[in-house]
Amino acid sequence: MESFINEVNFFNGNDPEELVREYGTPVYIYNEDILRNRMETVSRIITKYPYTANYSVKANTNIHILKMALEEGNNCDAMSVGEIKMLEAAGFSYDRIFFVPNNVTDDELLYAIDRNIMISVDSLAQLKAVGKLNRGGKIAVRINPGVGAGHCDKVITAGKRTKFGISEEDIDEMLALANRYNLKIVGINQHIGSLFMEPEPYLAAVSNLLRIALQFEDLEFIDFGGGYGIPYHKLDGEKEFDMADLSARLEPILDEFVQAYGRTPVFKSEPGRYCVAEGSVLLGRVNSVKHNSGSKYVGTDIGMNVLVRPSMYNSWHDVEFLRDGKTLPREDMEETTVCGNICESGDLLAVNRQLPKAKRGDLACLLDTGAYGYSMSSTYNSRPRPAEVLICRDGSVKQIRRRETYEDLLQYM
Ligand SMILES: Cc1ncc(COP(=O)(O)O)c(C=O)c1O
C-alpha cells in the first residue's frame, strides 16, 4: 500500500497542515467513520446466540469515543474505578459495565458493589474479599484457560506464565469459597492476551473455557475476552484480522456447548485494540534531521511520553511523512530512525526503516495509534499531553480533548 491515509481518505478532505496549525503538534487525529465501523463489526461477532461486545476501554478512554461505543450498542469492560467513572460520564448505565479488575482494594470493590456493577474476580483472595463485602451477591470469575497469545510476552495474559486468572486446578476451592459466602457465580470470563492475527489460540481457549463452564450450574454469561489484532504492517501489505472467519468457526463450538449445557447463557467478548487502533493517526513535526555514526535520525516532537508502545513493547507503527499537506511517495527511500524529544536513548518510534527522505518541517504521521496510545501517555520530562481531534463523518473537525498546558502540570503542587 502506497499510503494508508490517502487510501482511506483519513482526513476526509481536511488539510493536515491546517489541522496542526489549529491544534498544534503532537496531536492524535481520529476518524469517526473507521471507529464506528469497527465498533459495529464487533457487535456482530456472534449472531446466532444472545451476545454483547464489551468494548475494553483501557485501549482508549476518551469520553467522545466511549459515547460512540454506547451509540453503536456496545457494553464496556473497566479495569479500575477511574475507568468506571469515565463510563459514567459517557452515559453508560451500571448494568452495561463489567468490572474486571486485578489486585484491587476493598474500597474499589465496594465502589462497584454499591452500584450493582458486575465484578469478575481473578484470584481466590479477591473472591474471598467480595464474599465478605457482598455475602449472598452475584459474581463472575476470571478463568485461566491454559492458552495464551499476544504480540509479546508482556501482553500474554493466560497460559503458564501470567499473573491473571484462576487456574482450572483451583476450581473446587473456588466453588467451596463461593459456597461459604453464599456467592452465586453467574459468569466466567477469560482474556488470553492482546494482538493475535490468527484465530486458532482464541478458538482453543474458547473450547477450553466452555469445557470448564460445564462445571458451573448457573451461568448467565460467558465472556471470551478480546485480543483481536489489527495489521500494524499495512504499508507492507499485511491483511486485516479475518473476523468473518472467526465468527464462522466459533459457531459450531457454541452449538456443541449449548447442547451439552442445556441452556443458553449470553456470550460476550472484550475487544479493545480492534475497535480503536486503526481509527487514529498521530501527527508530529520533524524538528531536526541528523546523522550519527552513519545512521540518519529524524527527530520529531512525538516523544515516548506521547506514544510509549514502540519503547515499551518494541511495537511497530507504520510511518508516513507529509510535506505541505501531501504524503511523500514511497520511492527513493533511505534507512531512517524516527525518534522523539525525550531524554532516553530508547525514545525511538521506528528503527532502521526504509522511509521517504524526510527533512525538517515535514510532518511525521504514525499510523494505527488509537489503541494504547493516548491512554498510555504520560507527562514524562514534564511534557504536557497532546490534544485529541476527531474528523467527523461529515468531514467537520472537533477537538475532543484539549492539549494540556504547563499550568496543568503545576496544578497539584
Ligand atoms: C481483561 C481484558 N479484557 C480485554 C482486553 C482488551 O484487549 P485488546 O485490546 O487486545 O482487545 C484486555 C487488554 O489488556 C484485558 O486485560
Local confidence band at 404 (pLDDT 50, 70, 90 cut-offs):
very high
Amino acid at 339: C
Quick one: CATH architecture of 4-29+277-410? Beta Barrel (2.40)
Q: Which of 123, 270, 369 to mutate to test the pocket of ligand 1 (most atoms within 8 A of CB)?
A: 270
Contact criterion met (CB below 8 Å) for 367 and 352: no
- Best CA proximity match to 65, nearest among 267, 276, 268, 235: 276
Active-site residue, 343 included: yes
Active-site residue identified among 76, 152, 339, 343:
343
For residue 112, the model assigns a pLDDT of 98
CATH code for residues 32-275:
3.20.20.10
Contact criterion met (CB below 8 Å) for 323 and 289: no
For residue 190, the model assigns a pLDDT of 95
pLDDT digits (tens, 9 = 90+) for 195-211: 999 999 999 999 999 99
Q: Is the CB of 276 under 6 A from ligand 1?
A: no
pLDDT at residue 150 greater than cutoff 80: no
CA of 163 to the centre of ligand 1 (A): 14
- In this prediction the pTM is 0.96
Local confidence band at 161 (pLDDT 50, 70, 90 cut-offs):
confident
CA of 342 to the centre of ligand 1 (A): 28
Q: Whose C-alpha lies nearest to ligand 1, atom 2?
A: 191
Per-domain residue ranges of the chain: 4-29+277-410, 32-275
Local confidence band at 184 (pLDDT 50, 70, 90 cut-offs):
very high
Q: How many helices (H) and strands (E) does the chain have?
A: 13, 18
b/e per residue 132-142 (b: at least 16 CB within 10 A): ebbeebbbbbb
String of DSSP letters for 181-231 = TT-EEEEEE---BS-BSSSHHHHHHHHHHHHHHTT-S--SEEE----B---
Please give the number of the atom of ligand 1 that sits closest to the Cα of 193: 10
Q: At residue 118, what are phi and psi to the nearest 5 degrees?
A: -65, 130
Q: Is the CB of 77 under 6 A from ligand 1?
A: yes
- Best CA proximity match to 393, nearest among 34, 6, 40: 34
Please give the number of the atom of ligand 1 that sits closest to the Cα of 142: 1
pLDDT digits (tens, 9 = 90+) for 341-360: 999 999 999 999 999 999 99
- Best CA proximity match to 389, nearest among 403, 376, 405: 403
CA of 226 to the centre of ligand 1 (A): 5
Local confidence band at 151 (pLDDT 50, 70, 90 cut-offs):
confident
Local confidence band at 163 (pLDDT 50, 70, 90 cut-offs):
confident
Local confidence band at 155 (pLDDT 50, 70, 90 cut-offs):
confident
pLDDT at residue 266 greater than cutoff 80: yes
Q: Do domains 4-29+277-410 and 32-275 have the same CATH topology?
A: no
Task: Return the C-alpha cell found at 38.
Answer: 469497527
